[in-house]
Amino acid sequence: MTEKLFMADAYLQEAEGTVQAHTPEGGIVLDQSIFYPTGGGQMGDQGRFGDVEIATTVKAEGGTIVLVPSEGQTLPAIGSTHLQQLDWENRHRMMRLHTALHLLSVVIPLPVTGGQIRAEKARLDFAMPDPLEDKQSVEDALNALVAADHLVSTQWISEDELDAKPELVKTMSVQPPRGAGRIRLVRIGDSNQIDLQPCGGTHVRRTREIGRLRLGKMEKKGRVNRRLNVFLDE
């Protein structure tokens, strides 16, 4: 299993890694990774490992993380150690947008049927039979939560504790990973809790770091599903 350095410190931009294996598809498996693998709607990280350009990062069996090189790259030798360098601008935008989606699920307290976080935009799909009556008021409420500069922190609970509190799981399409015996929760707010839900993604430390947000047009996706895109308003 690859040690997930990004879980302990989402702001870690460089770290050494030792090649443990190559995958049949040409991926690189390290002993530890600052690269977040695609999962939970968040896209995998990009960057460099030594002289190798990393196009994306994915999950494999048993908790292994695989760095996927761009085409034409020469794989580093198994056992060799090189510097991991994250594409920080890309990652930080996803951290900001991922945290923003948590806030959006507070402003629109409806079941979430899907979601995705890319560097250029993020989205949530809601079980929402009727469209929003006032999208501007939703955008204003979202930006008010951002500006309030709430603390973002993590805590861990057991799988049994999560089973006793099923209301913590807001996303219908993606369930928290099980098998390790414990589940990571992301909390927004301190004594004044704004949100608490299972999540293994990367987030900013405080909501003000997200910056101002802009909502795109709401799209109808099926009989009861509606999609709302979120953009960083830079």
What is d(CA 101, CA 115) in angstroms, rounded to the nearest whole number?
A: 9
Give the pLDDT of residue 176. Answer: 65
Percentage of the chain beyond pLDDT 70 is 96
* Residue range(s) of every CATH 3.30.980.10 domain in the chain: 91-232
pLDDT tens by residue, 57-68: 999 988 899 999
Reported confidence tier of residue 232, pLDDT bands at 50, 70, 90: very high
The top-scoring range by mean pLDDT among 60-64, 77-81, 109-113 is 77-81
Q: What are phi and psi of 123, to 5 degrees?
A: -150, 155
The CA-atom distances, in angstroms, between 172 and each of 40, 164, 222, 233 are 12, 17, 15, 28
Q: What is the pLDDT of residues 131-145, one digit of tens each?
A: 898 999 999 999 999
Which one-letter DSSP state was computed for residue 207? G
Top-tier CATH class for 3-86:
mainly beta
Question: What's the rounded mean pLDDT across residues 9-35?
Answer: 97
The answer to whether 97 touches 232, Cβ cutoff 8 Å, is yes
pLDDT, residue 151, reads 98
**Quick one: average pLDDT of 81-99?**
98
Comma-separated ranges of CATH 2.40.30.130 domains in the chain? 3-86
Question: What CATH code would you report for 91-232?
Answer: 3.30.980.10
Per-residue pLDDT, 160 = 85
* Nearest CA among 147, 195, 146, 135 for reference residue 171: 195
Ramachandran class of 64: left when φ > 0, alpha when ψ lies in -120 to 50, beta otherwise = beta
Distances (CA, A) of 193 to 100, 184, 211: 15, 16, 20
Q: What six digits make up the tokens of 162? A: 């999560």
Average pLDDT over residues 224-230: 95
- Taking the C-alpha atoms of residue 83 and residue 16, their distance in angstroms, rounded to an integer, is 4
Write the CB contacts of 6 (distance below 8 Å, at least 6 apart in sequence). 12, 33, 34, 35, 36, 45, 202
Q: How does the average pLDDT of the chain come out, rounded?
A: 93
- Neighbouring C-beta atoms of residue 164, cutoff 10 Å: 10
127 close to 187: Cβ distance less than 8 angstroms: no
Nearest to 98 by CA among 174, 17, 158: 174
The DSSP secondary structure of 2-46, one letter per residue, reads -EEHHHH-TT--EEEEEEEEE-TTS-EEESEESSPPSBTTBPPP-
Residue 43 is predicted with a pLDDT of 98
Taking only the tens place, the pLDDT of each residue in 142-162 is 999 999 999 999 999 888 888
Instruction: Supply the pLDDT for residue 67.
Output: 98
Could you tell me the pLDDT band of residue 188, with boundaries at 50, 70 and 90? very high
Helix 88-107 / helix 135-147 crossing angle, nearest 10 deg: 120
